[in-house]
Structure 1
Amino acid sequence: MAKTYTDKLWELAAAEVLSQESGDGEDAGDAEGGEAAGERTVFLMGSKAAGKTSILLRCLDRDEAAKPTLALEYTFGRRAAGHNTPRDIAHLWELGGGTSLSDLMQIAITATSIRSLSVIVVVDLSAPCALWATLETLLQAAQFHVEQGASQARQVGKSRTGAKHRAPAPFAARVLPRNYPDRELISPFPVPLLIIGSKYDLFQELSSDKRKVVCKTLRFVAHYHAASLVFSSIKSESLMSKTKSFFSHLAFNADMGKTVSFDSTKPFIIPAGSDSLSQIGSPPMTDVDITSLHARNPKDLWKKVYERIFPPENTSEKKEVNDPAKDPQYSEQQIDAMRAQKDQELEEYKKNATKSWKGLELDT
C-alpha cells in the first residue's frame, strides 16, 4: 500500500524525535548548532480569516481546498536544491484564531527551532481598523517566545559544557550589516520577518487616501522591524508568484528576486533593507499637530496617528473569543448544545450550593 501524506508526516516527526534523543541532531546541525543542515522552520500567523492557509498551500504548490486552521497546525515542505542532492526540509507551523491563541506559539518557537526560524505575519488589508493591533500583539508575543527559547538554549549550552556531546552555539539575534539603512534608529526583529498584506483585491476598494495611510504605515512597521513587505491576493497569479518567492527564500533559502515596488498605487514588493525612513517620510497626519500626541518613540507616534484615522475595533468581542469554545470558527451543533445544557446545570448547582451554605450559616 502506498504511503499517505500523513504517514510521511509522522515518519518525519518520529525521526526528528529519535535524532534529538540520541544527540545526533547536534553533530548533524549547521554551523550555528541548530536544526540539521537543510532544515528550516517557518512560523505563520496573522489576522483571522486573512487567507493564511490558502497562501501557504499556494506557496507549496498543493492543489487542495483550504480549511479553517484549528488552533496550531503543522506541515512540512521539501525542495531539492539540485540533482543528486538531499532535499531541503521546511517545518511549517500555522497559528489560527488571530491574536486569541498566541500562547500556543511556545509549542513551535523553541530553543531548537529558533536557530533556523523565520516568522511570517499575514495582515488583512481589507480590515485596516484591526491591522495595527494584530501586528503589534502577534509580533510582541512572537518576540517574547523567541527570547524565551534563546534563554532555554543558553541554559542547555551551560549544562552540556564538558559533556561528551558538543554543546550547540548560543542563539544570537540577527545582526544587521553596518550599511543597513537607519540601522541605529530601528528595532530589528530577532529572526527574519516577512509581512504579507493579503486580500489586495479588496484593499483596492478603499478610498485612495485610506490606502495611502495603510501603505505608508506598513512600510514604516516593516522597516522598523527590518522586515520584508509584500502585498498579495490569491486571486492574482502574479502577486502569488512574488509572495512565493519571499516564502521560498525563508523556507528553502531560494533566490528572492530583484523586483522592488514602492508605488502605493501598486502592490508593494519591498525586500528587507531596501527602504529607509527618509523615503517613507513622516506619519500621514495633516489635521492634527503631531507634537500634541505625546509619543514616547517613533513607533508610538505612528501608532497614535494610524489609530486616529483607523480607530481600533471594540476589544470586548476579542476577549470573548479567547475561549475557543465560543469561537464560531470551531462550532459543532451537537457539542455546543450539550455544552449549553451542562453550563445551565452548573449554574443551577451553584445557586443550590449557595442556598445550602446560607442555610448552614443561619443554623449556626
Structure 2
Amino acid sequence: MADDEDPNDDDNGQNPNQQQQHSIDIWIESQNLLKNSEILQHEHVYLNGYSTLVFVGSQFGGKSSIINRFIDPTTKSLSLDKYDETIGLEYRYLCRRIDSLFDDRQRSKQQQQQQMNETISLENNEKICNIWELGYELLFIDLLKFAINLETIQNITLIIVIDLTQPNKMSILLEQIIKWIRKYLQSLLATNDDQFEQQLRQLALKRSIYYRNDQDQDNQDDRPKNPLLIPVTIIGSKYDEYQNMDPEIKKQITRYLRLVSYELGGQLLYHSCRSETLTKRINQAFESLAFDRLTFDLNERSKPSISTNIAKPVLLPFGYDTLAKIGVESKSSESVMDQAKKQFEQIFPQKILEQSYQSTIDDDIDPRFDPNFAEPEIDKILEYKYMLLDK
C-alpha cells in the first residue's frame, strides 16, 4: 500500500476541485457560444447564408431582363428582346462569397463588457440569393406562397416592377399586389408568436424613416401608418420610353408612385434596361438587398444618392420621403392615399385586369387561341395534328 498517496488526488494526479472548476468553465463557454449563435441568427439573419428576392409586377415590364442583368452584368442590352415570357413562377439564384467581420461594436453594452476582446470572424462565407419571378401579373399570384414563408420572411425583399408607360394599369395592379401580400403575411404570421411579428413591425418602422434628416425623424405625424412588414422596392421600368412622355403625365405618375412607396416604407427607382448607368444603379440596390446586413440602424447610414426631379430618373431610398416632400398636406397618410388613388384614376382610368386573365376552363374558349398560354412551337404541332384530323 502506498501510504504517501494523497486521498484527494485522482488517478491523473489532479484535484477534483480543479476538475470541477474546469468543467464549469467549459459549460460557461458553451453557453456563451450558444448566446452568440442566437444573436447572430436573430439579429443578423443573413448569416444563415440565404436571402430572397421576389419579383412581381407588370407583364412585359422587363422583370426577366432586370434579373438576368443582375445575375450577369455583362449581358448586352441588344439581347434583351430574346428572353422568353415568364410563365407561372420561375426560380434562379445567385451565389457570392462574402468576407464578414463582426466586432463588439455591433453588440449590446452588456455583451461588450462580458466579452470585450472577443471578435467573431467568418471568412469566405458563401451566401446564396434566391430569385423568384412571377409571370402574368396576378394570374398565378398564389404561387408566391412557395417563395414567401416563415423560413424566408426575415430576409426577403419584394420587388414590384411597374411599367411606367402603362399608367392605365398601374394603380389597380399595385393595389391588388399589395392587398394580396398584406393578407397573406397576416395569415402566415397568425401561426407564429406575437413577438416575431412585433420584431418585423419594429424593423419596418425603422426602414420607413431610415434616410430622413433629424427634423423629419422626430415628426411622428408624417410617418407611414402601416408600412409593409417586408422590404419593398418599386422599380419604374422602361424609363427610356417614359422620358419622352408629357411632363404633366410624368408628374402625376411620379407623385402617385412616391405616395405608394411612402405608404409601404419602401424605396423607388426608375430604370431602363437599355441604360448602363441605370442598370449599374439598380444592381447596386439589389446587391445591398441580397448580400448586405439590413438592420436599418441610423448609425450605419451612408450618404444616399437621391433624385426627385421628374426630368431625370427618380431615385428615393428607404425612408427618405415625407408627405411634405411629395407635396401633400395632410395628417393622415391613409386618407391621402385614398384621395391620390381617386385623383390618379380620374386622369388614368384603370383597365380591368381580369379581362386579360380570362380562364381557358370556359367551354367557349379554345386553349389554342388563348394568348395567356401561347406556346408557338407547341401550337404549330397542334395545328398540324388538327389539320390531319380534319382530313
1:309 to 2:360 alignment:
no
Partners of 2:183 and 2:92 in 1: CA distance: 24
| Shift in alpha-carbon separation, 1:331–1:180, aligned structure 2, 3 A | farther
| Shift in alpha-carbon separation, 1:315–1:91, aligned structure 2, 3 A | closer
Partners of 1:74 and 1:328 in 2: CA distance: 20
CA contact 2:357–2:372 (8 Å) conserved in 1: no
Secondary structure of the structure 2 residue equivalent to 1:75: strand
Cα deviations across residues 111-137 of structure 1 (Å, max 9, x unaligned)? Answer: 211121111000000111111111111
Q: Supply the AA of the counterpart residue of 1:128.
A: P
Partner of 2:271: 232
Partners of 1:103 and 1:207 in 2: CA distance: 37
- Residue 186 of structure 1 deviates from its aligned partner by 3.3
Partner of 1:115: 154
Partners of 1:35 and 1:151 in 2: CA distance: 24
For 1:63-212, list aligned pairs within 5 A.
66-82=83-99, 84-154=123-193, 170-171=196-197, 172-175=199-202, 176-177=205-206, 179=217, 182=221, 184-212=223-251
| Shift in alpha-carbon separation, 1:33–1:210, aligned structure 2, 3 A | closer
CA contact 1:43–1:94 (8 Å) conserved in 2: yes
Partners of 1:61 and 1:245 in 2: CA distance: 13
Partner of 1:263: 309
TM-score (norm 2): 0.66
Please, which of 375, 381, 388 is the counterpart of residue 331 of structure 1?
Answer: 375
CA contact 1:74–1:93 (8 Å) conserved in 2: yes
CA contact 1:35–1:112 (8 Å) conserved in 2: no
Partner of 1:281: 327
Secondary structure of the structure 2 residue equivalent to 1:273: coil
| Shift in alpha-carbon separation, 1:111–1:152, aligned structure 2, 3 A | farther
Secondary structure of the structure 1 residue equivalent to 2:165: coil
Partners of 1:71 and 1:256 in 2: CA distance: 38
- Residue 205 of structure 1 deviates from its aligned partner by 2.3
Partners of 2:288 and 2:71 in 1: CA distance: 13
- Per mean C-alpha deviation after superposition, the further-off stretch among 212-221 and 74-83 is 74-83
Identity rate, percent: 26
Task: Flag the structure with more relative contact order, 1 or 2, with Cα contacts below 8 A and sequence separation at least 6.
Answer: 2
| Shift in alpha-carbon separation, 1:27–1:280, aligned structure 2, 3 A | closer
Partners of 1:123 and 1:76 in 2: CA distance: 22
| Shift in alpha-carbon separation, 1:226–1:336, aligned structure 2, 3 A | farther
Partners of 1:185 and 1:258 in 2: CA distance: 20
Secondary structure of the structure 2 residue equivalent to 1:297: helix
Q: Supply the AA of the counterpart residue of 2:201.
A: R
Please, which of 41, 48, 52 is the counterpart of residue 37 of structure 1?
Answer: 48
| Shift in alpha-carbon separation, 1:134–1:336, aligned structure 2, 3 A | farther
Partners of 1:322 and 1:47 in 2: CA distance: 21
- Per mean C-alpha deviation after superposition, the further-off stretch among 195-204 and 323-332 is 323-332
| Shift in alpha-carbon separation, 1:56–1:42, aligned structure 2, 3 A | same
Partner of 2:356: 318
Secondary structure of the structure 2 residue equivalent to 1:195: strand
Partners of 1:336 and 1:152 in 2: CA distance: 48
Cα deviations across residues 171-216 of structure 1 (Å, max 9, x unaligned)? Answer: 4433213837655443211111100000001111211110110011
Partners of 2:286 and 2:302 in 1: CA distance: 8
Please, which of 50, 56, 59 is the counterpart of residue 70 of structure 2?
Answer: 59
Secondary structure of the structure 1 residue equivalent to 2:226: coil
Provide structure 2 residue ranges, at least 5 long, that are not aligned to the other structure. Answer: 1-36, 101-122, 210-216, 294-300, 387-391
Work out the number of aligned pairs and report it. Answer: 294
Q: Supply the AA of the counterpart residue of 2:349.
A: P
| Shift in alpha-carbon separation, 1:58–1:236, aligned structure 2, 3 A | same
TM-score (norm 1): 0.71
| Shift in alpha-carbon separation, 1:197–1:101, aligned structure 2, 3 A | same
Cα deviations across residues 237-256 of structure 1 (Å, max 9, x unaligned)? Answer: 11111111211111111798
Provide structure 1 residue ranges, at least 5 long, that are not aligned to the other structure. Answer: 1-25, 158-168, 284-294, 343-364
Please, which of 239, 259, 280 is the counterpart of residue 220 of structure 1?
Answer: 259
Partners of 2:233 and 2:224 in 1: CA distance: 20
Which structure: larger Rg?
Answer: 2
